[in-house]
């Protein structure tokens, strides 16, 4: 059921009411229903959906979009299992001095410069602030005697295929290609290449087959490096920091949700007990740091943003087995929270899929602790503001 | 529960696992558990839960999902809840 709104917008009543715990998840997925959508909102009761379009649409197009929206809702909501949220830490009552969005000030100070949707350059203050947090995360890595690794920005398509990434997160992939090795094609490109409305006008036939993508995660690279091997020492702790890429369409939003962001991970490979024990130790190790920082946050069970078809099952599974705990920092200016990091356990998924074994022949279990560096800095500034005089002394002294 | 009821329950669980995981009957053994077969991964497990819900009218909740990870725990759960 829908009604027109001058054909620039569309109001839809979902056939199935969207339960409260899925409102945000469904809303974020509506971005991928149609290219014409530039804004999608689901009311908090889950009974009403509003879409805004780039341009007025024909009635037949509206009917098609409405049908697709109903399909998304049905696939994500029908038979859904309400997750049981387990809270491991709750420090949301900490009082912090700022309650305004720091974004506009960061722009005016030249601390963030937007190159395109989801792509930002960061200035000196933000860079130093991120360095400060990096030092803390490196201390955590050192605590575990984690071996340093450097991983590429690119990742082969066949790697992601092996770990079912195409089924789980097709919407967030970023593809890489290059011109075909053909002198005519290259010459033609060099002479004619231009951009129209930010897009290259080049014919898609000039590009080679896609064999490579921009990497969406850090730890995958370690698992592929270990593929087919037996872990001789029975366990491995590793650490790395890398650029990661997750396309989020109209959900891209300043430093909160970037297409190109940086993650520091501490990765555990070994037995189930080894991984689970160290994931928990990592959480306990981080707690005093966040306390010293005075950060308002909580740690609770969560799920990854699986795409529509896989969402219901995968999210319920992750939640039931407590595979993911997110560190959710308060964003006082919008009375909500932002995931700045996570403590993850993958069971033996990568061990089985990539044939990484312990000496007894059983597949390894894996887990990682991940921190989104730009998000940590953003959440800190959202709570403390951009004036260093209001910051905790440990941060102020480092940045100055 | 008499032996006929137990046999019947075992057969229903076996059929359910065969259908949910799309595996041959000889693999749906009474000692089968999550992770033993590539088909019984996270997605497969959720298929098993959905088939259980439909076949026995069990209410799926996070505890159910994380506990019923083998043929034997499924059978025990069904016996405990009077599904024979």
Give residue for tokens 């509206």.
A62
List strand residue ranges (DSSP E) for chain A, in order: 2-5, 9-12, 37-42, 49-53, 87-90, 112-116, 119-122, 147-148, 154-156, 175-176, 195-196, 199-200, 212-214, 236-245, 260-270, 297-301, 324-331, 336-345, 365-372
- The percent helix, strand, coil of chain B (3-state, each to 5) is 65, 0, 35
Which residues in chain B are closer than 8 Å to A366, comparing Cβ atoms?
A: none
Those residues with Cβ within 8 angstroms of residue A123's Cβ, 6 or more apart along the chain or in another chain: A106, A109, A110, A111, A112, A113
Count of other CB atoms within 10 angstroms of residue A209: 8
Q: In a 10 Å sphere around its CB, with 0-12 CB exposed, 13-18 middle and 19+ buried, how is residue A45 labelled?
A: exposed
A219 close to A265: Cβ distance less than 8 angstroms: yes
Q: What integer is the mean pLDDT of A32-45?
A: 95
| Partner residue facing B60 (CB), from A81, A322, A348 | A81
A170-174 long-range CB contacts below 8 Å, 24 or more apart?
Answer: A170/A307, A171/A29, A171/A32, A171/A247, A171/A249, A171/A307, A172/A216, A172/A246, A172/A247, A172/A248, A172/A305, A173/A213, A173/A216, A173/A247, A174/A213, A174/A214, A174/A216, A174/A245, A174/A246, A174/A247, A174/A259
Q: Do A313 and B65 touch (CB under 8 A)?
A: no
Q: Do A313 and B61 touch (CB under 8 A)?
A: no
Which residues in chain B are closer than 8 Å to A313, comparing Cβ atoms?
A: 42-43, 46-47
Report the candidate in A200, A252, A250, A256 with the shortest Cα–Cα distance to residue A53. Answer: A250
Please write the tens of the pLDDT for every residue from B14-28. Answer: 999 999 999 999 999
Token representation of residue A237 = 């702790």
Q: Do A316 and B62 touch (CB under 8 A)?
A: yes
Domains along chain A with CATH numbers: 2-77 (3.30.70.100), 87-153+217-399 (3.30.930.10), 175-206 (no CATH)
Q: What integer is the mean pLDDT of A347-362?
A: 94
Cα–Cα distance measured from residue A313 to residue B50, given in angstroms and rounded to the nearest whole number: 9
- Per-residue pLDDT band at B84 (split at 50, 70, 90): low
In this predicted structure, what is the pLDDT of residue A41?
96
pLDDT at A361 over 60: yes
Task: Quote the minimal CA–CA distance from B47 to chain A in Å.
Answer: 8
Which residues in chain A are closer than 8 Å to B49, comparing Cβ atoms?
A: 316
- Per-residue pLDDT band at A5 (split at 50, 70, 90): low
Those residues with Cβ within 8 angstroms of residue A121's Cβ, 6 or more apart along the chain or in another chain: A112, A113, A115
Calculate ∠ Cα A15-A19-A22, nearest 5°. Answer: 105
Stated pTM of the model? 0.91
Q: Do B42 and A349 touch (CB under 8 A)?
A: yes
Q: What integer is the mean pLDDT of A96-124?
A: 96
- Per-residue pLDDT band at B1 (split at 50, 70, 90): low
Least confident of A2-11, A67-76, A212-221, A378-387: A2-11
Task: Quote the minimal CA–CA distance from B1 to chain A in Å.
Answer: 31
SS3 call for B69: coil
- Per-residue pLDDT band at A2 (split at 50, 70, 90): low
Those residues with Cβ within 8 angstroms of residue B19's Cβ, 6 or more apart along the chain or in another chain: B51
- Per-residue pLDDT band at B64 (split at 50, 70, 90): confident
Cα–Cα distance measured from residue B31 to residue A201, given in angstroms and rounded to the nearest whole number: 60
Task: Quote the minimal CA–CA distance from B5 to chain A in Å.
Answer: 30
- Residues across chain B: 84
Please write the tens of the pLDDT for every residue from A314-342. Answer: 888 898 899 999 999 999 999 999 999 99
Report the candidate in A258, A244, A250 with the shortest Cα–Cα distance to residue A28. Answer: A250
CATH number of the domain where residue B72 is located? 1.10.1200.10
Give residue for tokens 């083998």.
B70
Give residue for tokens 């037949």.
A60
* ipTM of predicted assembly, 2 dp: 0.77
- The percent helix, strand, coil of chain A (3-state, each to 5) is 40, 25, 35
pLDDT at A4 over 70: no
Q: In a 10 Å sphere around its CB, with 0-12 CB exposed, 13-18 middle and 19+ buried, how is residue A198 labelled?
A: exposed
Cα–Cα distance measured from residue A380 to residue A134, given in angstroms and rounded to the nearest whole number: 14
List phi, psi (to 5°) of A205: -65, -15
Structural domain that includes position B11: 3-80
> Within a 13 Å sphere around the CA of A79, how many CA atoms are in the beta-carbon half?
17
In this predicted structure, what is the pLDDT of residue A6?
63
Q: In a 10 Å sphere around its CB, with 0-12 CB exposed, 13-18 middle and 19+ buried, how is residue A64 labelled?
A: middle
- Measure the N-to-C terminal CA separation of chain B; round to a whole number of Å: 8
Q: Do B46 and A313 touch (CB under 8 A)?
A: yes
Any CB–CB contact under 8 A between A317 and chain B? Answer: yes
pLDDT at B56 over 70: yes
In this predicted structure, what is the pLDDT of residue A78?
84
Cα–Cα distance measured from residue A118 to residue A281, given in angstroms and rounded to the nearest whole number: 33
Cα–Cα distance measured from residue A121 to residue A112, given in angstroms and rounded to the nearest whole number: 6
Please write the tens of the pLDDT for every residue from A131-169. Answer: 999 999 999 999 999 999 999 999 999 999 999 999 999
Q: Domains in chain B: how many in total?
A: 1
**For residue A175, what are the β-bridge partners?**
A213
In this predicted structure, what is the pLDDT of residue A7?
74
Cα–Cα distance measured from residue A169 to residue A181, given in angstroms and rounded to the nearest whole number: 31
pLDDT at A305 over 90: no
- Per-residue pLDDT band at A3 (split at 50, 70, 90): low
pLDDT at A185 over 80: yes
Any CB–CB contact under 8 A between A16 and chain B? Answer: no
């Amino acid at each position: 059921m829908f009604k027109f709104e001058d054909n620039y917008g569309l109001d839809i009543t979902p056939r199935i009411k969207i339960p409260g715990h899925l409102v945000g998840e469904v809303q974020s997925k509506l971005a991928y229903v149609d290219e014409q959508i530039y804004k999608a909102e689901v009311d908090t009761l889950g009974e009403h959906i509003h879409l805004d379009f780039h341009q007025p649409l024909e009635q037949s197009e509206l009917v098609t979009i409405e049908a697709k929206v109903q399909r998304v809702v049905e696939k994500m909501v029908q038979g859904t299992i309400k997750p049981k949220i387990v809270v491991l830490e709750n420090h949301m009552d900490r009082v912090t001095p700022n309650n305004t969005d720091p974004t506009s000030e960061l722009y005016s100070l030249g601390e963030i410069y937007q190159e395109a949707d989801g792509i930002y350059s960061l200035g000196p203050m933000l860079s130093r602030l991120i360095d400060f947090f990096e030092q803390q995360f490196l201390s955590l890595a050192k605590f575990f005697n984690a071996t340093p690794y450097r991983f590429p920005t690119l990742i082969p398509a066949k790697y992601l295929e092996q770990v079912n990434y195409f089924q789980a997160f097709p919407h967030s992939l970023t593809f890489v290609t290059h011109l075909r090795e053909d002198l005519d094609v290259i010459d033609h490109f060099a002479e004619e290449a231009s951009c129209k409305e930010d897009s290259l006008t080049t014919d898609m036939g000039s590009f080679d087959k896609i064999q490579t993508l921009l990497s969406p995660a850090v730890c995958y690279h370690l698992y592929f490096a270990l593929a087919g091997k037996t872990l001789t020492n029975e366990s491995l702790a590793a650490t790395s920091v890398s650029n990661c890429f997750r396309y989020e369409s109209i959900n891209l939003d300043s430093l909160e949700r970037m297409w190109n962001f940086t993650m520091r991970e501490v990765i555990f490979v070994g037995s189930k007990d080894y991984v689970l024990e160290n994931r928990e130790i990592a959480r306990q190790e981080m707690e005093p740091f966040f306390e010293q920082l005075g950060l308002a946050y909580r740690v609770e069970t969560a799920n990854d943003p699986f795409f529509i078809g896989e969402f219901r099952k995968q999210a319920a599974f992750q939640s039931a087995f407590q595979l993911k705990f997110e560190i959710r920092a308060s964003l006082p200016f919008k009375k909500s929270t932002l995931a700045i990091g996570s403590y993850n356990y993958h069971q033996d998924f990568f061990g089985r899929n990539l044939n990484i074994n312990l000496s007894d022949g059983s597949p390894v279990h894996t887990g990682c602790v991940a921190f989104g560096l730009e998000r940590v800095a953003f959440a800190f500034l959202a709570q403390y503001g951009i004036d260093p005089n209001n910051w905790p002394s440990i941060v102020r002294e480092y940045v100055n | 529960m008499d032996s006929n009821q137990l046999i019947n329950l075992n057969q229903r669980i076996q059929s359910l696992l065969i259908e949910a995981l799309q595996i041959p009957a000889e693999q749906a053994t009474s000692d089968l558990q999550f992770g033993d077969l590539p088909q019984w991964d996270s997605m497969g497990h959720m298929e098993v839960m959905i088939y259980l819900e439909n076949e026995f009218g069990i209410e799926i909740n996070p505890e159910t999902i994380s506990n019923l990870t083998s043929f034997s725990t499924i059978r025990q759960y069904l016996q405990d809840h009077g599904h024979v």
